[in-house]
Amino acid sequence: MKRNTFYVTTPIYYVNDVPHIGHSYTTIAADVLARYHELTGKEVFLLTGTDEHGIKVQESALKAGEAPQEFCDRIAAQFMKAWQALGINYSNFIRTTDDHHVKAVQYVLQKLYDGGHIYKGKYEALYCMGCEQYKTAGDLVNGKCPDHKIEPEIRSEECYLFKLSEHQERLLRLIRDDELKIRPQERKNEMVSFLEKEELQDISISRMREKVSWGIPLPFDESHTTYVWVDAFLNYLTGLGWPEDKENFELFWPASIQLMAKDILRVHATIWPAILIAIGIAPPVEYFIHGYFTVNGEKMSKSLGNVIDPIELSVNYGPDVIRYFILSEFPFGADGDFSTRRLEESFNSDLANDLGNLLHRTVPMMEKYCQRLVPTPGALDDLEKDLKAKSEEVVAGLDNLLGELKFREALALIWEFVGKANKYIDSAAPWALAREDKRERLDTVMYSIMEAIRIIVILISSFMPETASKMWDQIGIEESLGSQTLPKDAAWGGLKSGLEVKHAAPLFPRIQ
Q: Which residues are catalytic?
A: 20, 23, 128, 131, 145, 148, 299, 302
* Binds ligand MSP by CB under 6 A, chosen from 107, 266, 292, 470: 292
Chain centroid, CA 406 distance in Å: 13
72 touching ligand MSP, by CB under 6 A: no
CB of 34 to ligand MSP, least distance (A): 16
Of 21-29, 149-157, 401-409, 502-510, which part binds ligand MSP (CB under 6 A)? Answer: 21-29
* Binds ligand MSP by CB under 6 A, chosen from 7, 8, 19, 22: 22
293 touching ligand MSP, by CB under 6 A: yes
CB of 441 to ligand MSP, least distance (A): 51
51 touching ligand MSP, by CB under 6 A: yes
Of 171-179, 191-199, 256-264, 500-508, which part binds ligand MSP (CB under 6 A)? Answer: 256-264
Strand, helix or coil at 375? coil
45 touching ligand MSP, by CB under 6 A: no
Using omega within 30 degrees of 0 as the cis cutoff, is the peptide bond preceding 487 cis? yes
CB of 14 to ligand MSP, least distance (A): 4
Q: Which is nearer to ligand MSP, 22 or 430 (CB)?
A: 22
Q: Is the dihedral of CA 112, 118, 124, 127 positive or negative?
A: positive
CB of 242 to ligand MSP, least distance (A): 15
Helix axes 382-403, 439-460, angle to 10 degrees: 0
What is the number of other CB atoms lying within 10 angstroms of the CB of residue 197? Answer: 7
Strand, helix or coil at 485? coil
308 touching ligand MSP, by CB under 6 A: no
Which of 399, 285, 289, 269 has the alpha carbon at shortest distance from 333?
289
CB of 121 to ligand MSP, least distance (A): 24
* Binds ligand MSP by CB under 6 A, chosen from 18, 192, 251, 260: 260
Q: Output the residue with the shortest Cβ distance to ligand MSP.
A: 22
Q: Which is nearer to ligand MSP, 13 or 463 (CB)?
A: 13
* Residue 247 burial class via C-beta count within 10 angstroms: exposed 0-12, middle 13-18, buried 19 and up: exposed
Interface with ligand MSP: number of residues (CB under 6 A): 20
Sequence letter at residue 124 = E
80 touching ligand MSP, by CB under 6 A: no
Residues 6+ apart with CB under 8 A from 197: none
Each as own residue / partner, the long-range contacts of residues 293-298 (CB below 8 Å, 24 or more positions apart, any chain) are 293/21, 293/22, 293/25, 293/330, 293/335, 293/336, 293/337, 293/338, 294/335, 294/336, 294/337, 294/338, 295/21, 295/337, 295/338, 295/339, 296/337, 296/338, 296/339, 297/337
Strand, helix or coil at 243? coil
**Footprint of ligand MSP on this chain (CB under 6 A)?**
11-14, 17, 22-23, 25-26, 51, 232-233, 235, 260-261, 263-264, 292-293, 300
